[in-house]
Structure 1
Amino acid sequence: MSKTKKEQIFDAAASTILKEGLSQLTLQQVAEHANMTKAGLLYHFSSKEELIQQMNEHAILCFRQQLETYYETYKHEKAPYVRAYLLATLHDLDMQHTTQLCTSMLATMSFDDALLQPWRAFYAEFKEKAAEEISDPALSQLIRLACDGIWFSEMFQLEPLKREEKNLLLHRILHLLEEG
């Protein structure tokens, strides 16, 4: 499936951050990485803040779509939402969507605390839905923090896990979910 122009710009922004650092995230740099003019970029995003905001919204939307797909598949299993969250995390990592997710979060943390609000709302939603499915709050937080840890190790390249290690970890957590 071909990417929209905005998705190409999001990829260029992520590439800019990864290759040159967050300090080099300028609309001009993003435009160059997207093979377009700055005016063309400004047609889609009026500011760097708007670019980062929409990058975050897009990353969350993509993850939510995967989450909903897995939820539908496992809605008759134990803790379907939490199971879907784990599997969507694994899928996201396998499909390399993590780069965009991580770079949008990193850019948000460094640029404007208010831009973290969509992430805060997403995590609050997870906590609420996980509490409905799992009676042990420590287990639901263990699951969320394990998924976050995998993403953050990818984001900061802190000994990121190999694919097999991620699979093993997430499947072990699924086993804990079945036991709990």
Structure 2
Amino acid sequence: MSKTKKEQIFDAAARTILEEGLSQLTLQQVAEHAHMTKAGLLYHFASKEELIQKMNEHAILCFRQQLKTYQETYKYEKAPYVHAYISATLHDLDHQNTTQLCTSMLATMSFDETLLNPWRDFYAEFKAKAAEEINDPALSHLIRLACDGIWFSEMFQLEPLNREEKTLLLHRILHLLEEGA
């Protein structure tokens, strides 16, 4: 499946951040990485702020789509939403979709903290849905923070786990979920 022009621009922005650093995240640099003119990029995004905002929205949308797919798969399991969250995290890591998610968050944090609001809303939604499925709030917090820890170790390259270690950790969390849900 080929990527849309906007998805190609998101990839170019992510490459800019990863290869050259946040300080080089300019519309000109992104345009060059996307093999287009700055005017062509401006056709899709009027500003760097809009580009970052749309990167976040796209990353959240992609993760939500994975959640939906896994919720259907696990609809007969205990805590299907939380189970889907764990599995979607593993899926995303397995398919190397973390680059856009991580770089969109990094760009947001350095540019304008209010652009994190969609992420805040997403986490509030997780907390509410997990509370419906799990009687132990500490377990739902443990699950979310373990998944986040995997993301953040990838994002900042702080001794990120290899694929086998990630899989082992997430399967252990699934086991805890089965015991505690």
TM-score (norm 1): 0.99
State the SS of the aligned residue for 1:151.
Answer: helix
State the distance in 2 between where 1:92 and 1:103 align.
14
State the distance in 2 between where 1:112 and 1:150 align.
24
Task: Show structure 2 runs of 5+ residues with no match.
Answer: none
Aligned-residue sequence identity (percent) comes to 88
State the distance in 2 between where 1:144 and 1:119 align.
13
State the distance in 2 between where 1:154 and 1:2 align.
26
TM-score (norm 2): 0.99
Per-residue deviation at 1:12? 0.3
Per-residue deviation at 1:19? 0.6
Q: Tell me which residue corresponds to 2:104.
A: 104
For 1:38-77, what aligned pairs fall within 5 Å after superposition?
Answer: 38-77=38-77
Per-residue deviation at 1:17? 0.3
Q: Tell me which residue corresponds to 2:92.
A: 92
Q: How many corresponding residue pairs?
A: 180
Q: Tell me which residue corresponds to 1:114.
A: 114
Task: Show structure 1 runs of 5+ residues with no match.
Answer: none
Partner AA of 2:96 in structure 1: Q
Partner AA of 1:38 in structure 2: K
State the SS of the aligned residue for 1:35.
Answer: coil
Q: Which runs of 4+ in 1 moved over 4 A?
A: none
State the distance in 2 between where 1:99 and 1:154 align.
9
Per-residue deviation at 1:76? 1.1
State the distance in 1 between where 2:148 and 2:107 align.
16
Partner AA of 2:74 in structure 1: Y
State the distance in 2 between where 1:36 and 1:93 align.
29
State the distance in 2 between where 1:41 and 1:94 align.
30
Per-residue deviation at 1:60? 0.1
